[in-house]
Amino acid sequence: MFNHSSADQNVGWERDIKNQIVVYRTLRDIKAGEELCISYGQRLTFKDADAPQYVDEGDGTQLLGSIQLDT
Ligand SMILES: C[S@@+](CC[C@H](N)C(=O)[O-])C[C@H]1O[C@@H](n2cnc3c(N)ncnc32)[C@H](O)[C@@H]1O
């Protein structure tokens, strides 16, 4: 139902613990036919087609800046 977007989700979600459900809400107006995207988190099991594309300018700085470390 929802695809993943790293930076441009248009749907958010939260757990409703009391009722044991997950509530999804649109984060902005969505046009008819527009893809619905949530964040699946950072451990994806597929190559993210929505990931930002980084072009290395030569010194690797931009690539290094895109790496997210688990904490
Ligand atoms: C729950 S399905 C997503 C909804 C599905 N596309 C549909 O039409 O019902 C999850 C799968 O969609 C694909 N997918 C979702 N977001 C993606 C993304 N950003 N890049 C590539 N594949 C994605 C992956 O194969 C993932 O396992």
ipTM for the complex shown = 0.95
The Å distance, Cα 3 to ligand 1 centre, comes to 5
Percentage of residues in the chain having pLDDT higher than 90: 63
Return phi, psi of residue 41, to 5°: 100, -165
Residues with C-beta less than 6 Å from any ligand 1 atom: 1, 3-4, 46, 48-50
The Å distance, Cα 38 to ligand 1 centre, comes to 10
Atom of ligand 1 nearest to the CA of 51: 19
pLDDT value at position 29?
97
Pairwise pLDDT comparison (20 vs 62), residue with the higher score: 20
Q: What are the tens digits of pLDDT across the range 21-31?
A: 999 999 999 99
What sign has the CA pseudo-torsion 64, 8, 3, 69?
positive
pLDDT value at position 56?
65
